[in-house]
Amino acid sequence: MKIDDDALIEQLLAEQRRMSERLDRIEGKLDQVLDLREGFENAMDAEPAGPELEAADDDFTEQNLIDVGSAAQRAGVSKPTIRRWVNDGGIGFKRRGRLRVSVPRLRRHIGDNSL
């Protein structure tokens, strides 16, 4: 009986080592996934780059900037449309987590100087 018990113990120890190695590999893969997730979340939280501003560019001076709601009301479109125009059309930028819209660029975008 002693021999059978020793053999069983050896089998159990070998199985424990295999399971421990497998768990280490799984933990390594999980760490990789978590790193990817963190990188993705950081990328999603990053603010898109604003338009390149030159010293002579008055379109983005504070007196020419309005919020998304005001821009939507002035242009007669929805807020999501303004957000899309900011992202795709360069009519504004994000500052301190808020979108700001340039009135002169909004005017040019919709072809209306009466805004």
Does the pLDDT value for residue 45 go beyond 80? Answer: no
Output the CATH code of domain 58-110: 1.10.1660
Tens of pLDDT, residues 58-114? 888 888 999 999 999 999 999 999 999 998 878 998 877 888 999 999 999 988 766
Residue 56 has pLDDT above 50, yes or no: no
Please report the sign of the dihedral spanned by the C-alpha atoms of residue 52, residue 57, residue 59, residue 65: positive
